[in-house]
């Protein structure tokens, strides 16, 4: 059996382009180029039937190392806590006050982009501190 080498993470959302742009800013990802035959994404969107316009977006790690993120419009709103979430690893290798300072600085940057701070989980002897947050549509993620 062949091992899987690539995967993408898919988000259900109401506004795929808005959520994709948020995650591009969080992770340093980029939107893909417009499809062949179209100068811009707006040109591509105008070519689609009205009901399909804005139904999806994506972003990718420009280095190719990280997974592609795919955002698809769904009719229902978010109702419960995510069963899967992203950990944005900004404090790797740091502990104590140094780690908290890095987490807080990144939290402030992301709040300015539209994220919501939910709570700080302080180090407990087993796990280091992290900050639970929500993206622009309420999807939970952690600054870790």
Question: What was the pLDDT predicted at 116?
Answer: 98
Could you tell me if 139 and 85 are in contact, meaning their C-beta atoms sit under 8 angstroms apart? yes
Alpha-carbon distance 143 to 140, whole Å?
10
d(CA 129, CA 34): 40
Could you tell me the two tokens for 89? 């690893």
- E strand intervals along the chain: 8-13, 56-59, 68-73, 86-88, 116-121, 130-134, 140-143
Sort strands 116-121 and 86-88 into parallel, antiparallel or unpaired.
unpaired
Strand partners, 103: none
- pTM attached to this predicted model: 0.89
Report the percentage of the chain scoring pLDDT > 90: 81
Decide if pLDDT at 125 tops 90: no
Question: Could you tell me which CATH class the domain 8-73 is placed in?
Answer: alpha beta
Looking at residue 82, what is its pLDDT? 83
Q: Where are the domains of the chain?
A: 8-73, 86-143
For residue 25, pLDDT beyond 90: yes
pLDDT of residue 5: 75
Q: 95-106 pLDDT, tens per residue?
A: 999 999 999 999
In the chain, the largest separation of any two C-alpha atoms, in whole Å, equals 56
Q: How confident is the model over 33-62, as a mean pLDDT?
A: 93
Pure H helices in 28-117: 41-47, 96-112
């Amino acid at each position: 059996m062949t091992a899987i080498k690539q995967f993408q993470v898919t988000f259900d959302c109401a506004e795929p382009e808005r959520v994709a742009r948020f995650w591009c800013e969080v992770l340093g990802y980029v939107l893909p180029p417009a499809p062949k035959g179209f100068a811009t994404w707006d040109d591509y969107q105008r070519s689609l039937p009205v009901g399909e316009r804005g139904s999806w977006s994506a972003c990718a790690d420009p280095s190719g190392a990280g997974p592609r993120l795919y955002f698809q419009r769904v009719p229902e709103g978010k109702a419960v806590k995510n069963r899967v979430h992203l950990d944005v690893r900004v404090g790797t290798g740091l502990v104590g006050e140094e780690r908290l300072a890095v987490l807080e600085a990144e939290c402030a940057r992301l709040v300015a982009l539209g994220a919501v701070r939910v709570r700080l989980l302080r180090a407990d002897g087993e796990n280091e501190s992290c900050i639970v947050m929500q993206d622009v549509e309420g999807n939970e993620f952690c600054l870790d």
